[in-house]
Structure 1
């Protein structure tokens, strides 16, 4: 696969990022799963991959510093990346104001995009790490706001009902169950107010809480196998575990865009009293390029503010897109 396919970073990535520890942990775990338990072996494989992907890397400074150009790596460099010890993320202002927070959530390292790509190729991650990288970039930007919020171009308050209809138009080419779900979403979005009714609405509240509920009738397993271009209707069942009623919430896609899995920027969430449960549908279309794809979702309000500000990843789903030649291999999982 070419360095630029699937939204992968190209030969020169000029920006560093402070990532959540989940990305560093995933890099370490996938490296071990690929059979490179020893860091010395991993470095040898990585350097061979870096040399192949980035021929100019041999002339770059080796390991350390904050260079964002591809360069050979050392055991010390890789260890620091995987444990998140090269740089600590600063505590965001919104989190410093909270009485108790876990500093462990903030551990991260400066990981250049080219290194994520090299890990993904060297250790056969099949695009898995690339999507995690995109989340981390997006969520880092979201967390710079106080309180954290989705980017303006993805907010219901900016897009409006007509914009939402344009975003979901492609899913009307899907199966009937998806078309029905999309029409229901469009109708629900039109019932949302354009602004909060009071200054305290659409803001995080420590008495507002959420829990995930297993739904064996609709839940898709992690890593469900699909063919290129397949329409999938993902479902999540959530429970209001707090003491505040849920009103006017939406489920935002973090780090969305044209690359990877296609989804709307957000979907409506039914209202729920304390203790109530809601089922949320998310229309998904698999890309035409084979690989392993993931998406991340977070609850918020129409103004983009996240209901539960934290440095943690939200709800996730993973799909494995097979090459077309495997079209005859059926899957037992219902995807709509």
Structure 2
């Protein structure tokens, strides 16, 4: 799917969800914290929405993951330019940079949930190296939602963490709708989306939940 087609499909789906929930364009713009003109252009496929706007529509208008897969098409479509020029890409991993998994603070793997159940997953990691973690994010791999996979933000901020310290990282999620098991993964990245450990921790940190039909 081309970027233009993906934008049109995404905007049309957003408009359908909003109107099906009885929300006017003006009310949606105010609630989402964007201008009415921008939102109108997004729904017409003229402007690309932010992931925050997609997350708002998913939550406010019961998207159940319909928007996320198309949004990924928009983000990854040909023509999207990297933030760094060739040769300027950050040199990761950094010498002395290490991470260690400590524990699942909430939602152990294999937790059984109802379709569409909302929850918050928290992991605890330790900065086991010598490099301070500053300006880092936990970014989800793959589409951030769908009928068969839990929905979540694309990424969340990781609190600055000094060597030897631990940090709790929490992600709000919504269980998938279709019955079955889902496993989703996240990696540590910088603000441009580059992985700090491109050749280590292949699976990143992950979670597994099981949805059973009502």
TM-score (norm 2): 0.58
1:265 is matched with: 154
What's the RMSD between the two structures over aligned residues?
A: 2.7
- Looking at structure 2, the residues matched to 221 and 237 of structure 1 have their Cα atoms a distance apart, in angstroms, of 12
SS at match of 1:214: strand
Residues 1:166 and 2:56 are matched in the alignment: no
SS at match of 1:228: coil
Match of 2:203 among 277, 288, 313: 313
Q: Give deviations 1:11-68, integer Å, cap 9, x for gaps.
A: xxxxxxxxxxxxxxxxxxxxxxxxxxxxxxxxxxxxxxxxxxxxxxxxxxxxxxxxxx
Residues 1:299 and 2:213 are matched in the alignment: no
2:35 is matched with: none
Q: Any stretches of 5+ residues in structure 1 without a counterpart? A: 1-158, 175-194, 325-336
- Looking at structure 1, the residues matched to 125 and 205 of structure 2 have their Cα atoms a distance apart, in angstroms, of 10
Q: Give deviations 1:242-291, integer Å, cap 9, x for gaps.
A: 10110111111111244211111111111111111111111111121111
User: Structure 1 residue 321: deviation in Å?
Assistant: 0.4
Larger Rg: 1
More strand by share: 2
Confirm or deny: 8 A CA contact 1:239 1:278 kept in the other structure: yes
Q: Any stretches of 5+ residues in structure 2 without a counterpart? A: 1-47, 63-82
Following superposition of structure 1 onto structure 2, how do residues 142-153 of structure 1 map, counting pairs within 5 Å? none
Q: Give deviations 1:114-160, integer Å, cap 9, x for gaps.
A: xxxxxxxxxxxxxxxxxxxxxxxxxxxxxxxxxxxxxxxxxxxxx9x
- Looking at structure 1, the residues matched to 182 and 100 of structure 2 have their Cα atoms a distance apart, in angstroms, of 24
Residues 1:277 and 2:169 are matched in the alignment: no
2:128 is matched with: 241
- Looking at structure 2, the residues matched to 236 and 171 of structure 1 have their Cα atoms a distance apart, in angstroms, of 23
Following superposition of structure 1 onto structure 2, how do residues 85-100 of structure 1 map, counting pairs within 5 Å? none
Runs of 4+ in 1 over 4 A off after TM superposition: 171-174, 199-202
Q: Tell me: CA distance 1:230–1:220, structure 2 relative to 1, closer, same or farther (3 Å).
A: same
Q: Tell me: CA distance 1:202–1:246, structure 2 relative to 1, closer, same or farther (3 Å).
A: farther
Q: How many correspondences in the alignment?
A: 140
1:11 is matched with: none
User: Structure 1 residue 237: deviation in Å?
Assistant: 0.8
